[in-house]
Each structure stands twice: as C-alpha cells, then as structure tokens.
A and B are shown apart, each in its own frame.
Chain A
C-alpha cells in the first residue's frame, strides 16, 4: 500500500505541475478566504469600509504574480476607463498652473488614522511621490517616468491637452492596469483639480517646462 501510494503520488505531483500548479487551493477558494480576511481586518465606519471594495477594473487589475491581462480584459478596463472620464462644467481643460504646482507637490489628503479622515479641504495630487517634476528637484519618486519638460517636448495642441487631461483623470484609459492611480475616476481629484494639473504640465510658464 505504501509503495503504491508513493508511486501514485509521484505521478500525481508531476501531473499537478503540468497542470500549472493550479490545483490546491484553487483560485476561487483562495480568493474567498482572502476577501474574508480583508473585511475582518479593518476597524472602520461603513463609509470607510467602502474603500476596501474593489470595482470591476481593480478586480481585473489585481493579477497575481506574472499572470497576464488577456486582450479582452485589457479592452474592458480601457472601456470602463473611457466611460469614467468627466470633464469640468466649464469645458475648459486647462486651469491654473500655480494651483497645479502646489497640488503636484502635495502628497497628503484623505488618509485615515484612528477613524478620522485627514482634515484637508482638498486632496493633494501625489504626483511628486512618483514622478520627477521641475528640473533640479531632488525629493522626487521614480515609480512613474519623469515629467520634467513634459510641455516643452509636446507643445500644447488641443490633442495634447485632451490626452493629458484624460491621462490624469483615468490613466488606465491609455494603459490598462498601470501603476498610476486613476486619480479623477476614483474621486481623489476633482475635474477642476485635474485642469490645474494639465496647466502645470503644459503651460510654458510652469517650472516643469523651465
């Protein structure tokens, strides 16, 4: 009995590996266990607990390990992203670069500590956390590509203005599941704030283009 079991198990193991190691626990079981853990791990009001719920795009974009997006999934994320984009009531996509400059360097807003949300009137735009901005600034991240000279390189044609607005509003409209947050679509930034970011990136007077 023992030897047959070993034989059987050895071939079963090979079989499992050929099958892509998907056997135990299966993905649905893991997901169910882990999702339960998420909702038991936080101490929060109902409104704050909402932040733990994934929307459809986040679900698609939470691929484990080296798993790739399928073409259909990528298309769905882009479609949802496009549908999410709202434009400011004025229709004017370029705002005030000085306001944008301030926001770009502000990494605060909407964090929660001891049940209280940060008391800022408006959220910072977080750009500096991830992107190099004006030349010579040292305290900048590199999770995203440098934006230094962004407007100088691209000009400010209508097409560029529109692309930049939409990219900041929902980065996944152009790059599904990228590491850049969908800052407008998730309501971290208002459409008006996004117009300030556009001005900051594109205005020739903005320090980023100096």
Chain B
C-alpha cells in the first residue's frame, strides 16, 4: 500500500505539471534567420567525428560504446537523447546526456573519470573534445523526434522540482538567479538575445538545440558548457562537470521543453 501511495502522489503531481499555465502556451518555430544559419551549420562535421568515436574500440578495456544504454536499451540511440535526463537503475541516479556518457566511458571503456572531465570542455577553435562530439552524435540520433522527458520515477520528479527551485534561486553579489535573465520575453544583455525560458517556446528552443555549434568559439558546445558560462556571468565559482545542480536545471528546462522537435546541432552566436 505504501508503494502505491507514492506512485499515486507522483501521478497527482505530474497532472499538476501538465496543468501549469506555462505549459499551455503554444510553441513556435525557429525564426527564419536561425533556419538560414542552420542550413550551413559547421557543427555537422562533429556528428561524423562522434559517430567514429562511438563505434571505435577505445579506452583501457578496448571496447566501443555500442553497449552503452542511454535509456532505450544497449546501443539503441534512436530517440534516446530526447528523453534525457532520466533515471537509470544501474547507477540509481538521474543522469543527463553528459553524465551518462561519463558513466559508460568509465564503466564500459575504463577511462579515468577525472581525465575525461578535464578534457570535456575543449579550447575555442580546437577540434573539440571526445565528449562534445559524442554528445552531438548521440543527440543527432533523435533529430526529428519530440522531446519527451518523463517524470514518472520519483527521482526524476525530485530532480525536476530541484531544477525549478534552482532556476529561481538568487545569490552572489549580482543577486542573479537564472530567471533574472531568462524570465521575460524580448530581453537582451547588451546585444545578446536572452531566451525566455519561462515560456513554453523558449524552453523548447533550449531543449531542441543542444549540443550546438558556437560561432564565436568555432566548436560544438554542450549544455554543461552553457551552464558554466551563465554561472560565470553570475559571479559564482567554477561549476563542476555533471553534478546534480546541472542535471536538475537540465531536467527542469528539457521537461518544460517537451514536444519540441529535436534538431541538433543548434547554431548559436
């Protein structure tokens, strides 16, 4: 009985989510300007790089990532990224794409976690890191599919609620939470357009377009990089790679972006 009660509560909460006013607004298409940019997106090059890395036998254990389970079963990539973050029984954690890659690259291939993290975010104008290329390749296998983050597991729902809390949490000498810059339509910091993430359309834009080619850096960037950069602007300390803080925010944003059609690599300034 206790068990049923738990799932019932979650069902109730999920229904509440479905009814939240922000979820009622309709999504819109990417602007024409963005579409034009994407037709000639240099980030496409990273897809092949990631595909090679995925299938090559690598690491101390000399195996490929073909046995990695991104949530749809070993090696099944179609639609997997569109459902991330999600709960994984083998780690008993909610993982986003980047933490799942870390899990597989350490457990299956035997790579050193600290070294992977050290190399994860590449230098501008470099050939990019393995994780950047792999993250893009895996996500590209959901292109054309709808973002579909489920909160049916208790830990997923907890993660979502924590992410929501963190989105609004203000701290530091600039009193910034995420919502100070991403809570209203048509806002800019200097000339940089700020995505309005408390709208359905804005959250969908985020959920559908990462990893993205970053024009100013000439490399493909992941969500973890983006969060690092925003946190830096907020004058907070260095964000560690793939901690629950990032996973919670990503769960929150991607869930808000449900039903967006995945199209990566996105193309960013």
Contacts and interface: CB of A to CB of B under 8 A. Distances in A.
Interface of A: 5, 9, 12-13, 16-17, 21, 23-25, 30-31, 33-34, 37-38, 40-45, 48-49, 51-54, 58, 61-66, 107, 110-115, 126, 128-130, 138-143, 179, 181-182, 186-188
Interface stretch (B54-62, B123-131, B140-148, B168-176): B168-176
14 contacts: A12-B8, A23-B9, A24-B13, A25-B161, A30-B158, A34-B166, A40-B245, A41-B245, A43-B237, A61-B170, A61-B175, A110-B235, A113-B238, A143-B180
Contact of A115 (B164, B188, B238, B248): B238
Listed from nearest, the 4 A-B pairs whose CB atoms lie closest are A44-B237, A41-B245, A21-B16, A186-B173
Give chain B's interface residue range (CB within 8 Å of chain A).
35 or more
Contact of B12 (A23, A64, A111, A186): A23
A35 B4 CA distance: 29
Interface of B: 4, 8-13, 15-16, 19-22, 157-158, 161-166, 168-177, 180-181, 186-191, 194, 198, 232-233, 235-240, 243-246, 248
A112 B168 CA distance: 21
B169 A42 contact: no
A52 B172 contact: yes
Contact of B237 (A37, A48, A188): A48
Contact of A17 (B4, B19, B181): B19
Contacts of B161: 25, 30, 33-34
A34 B20 CA distance: 21
A207 to B, nearest CB: 17
Contacts of A138: 191
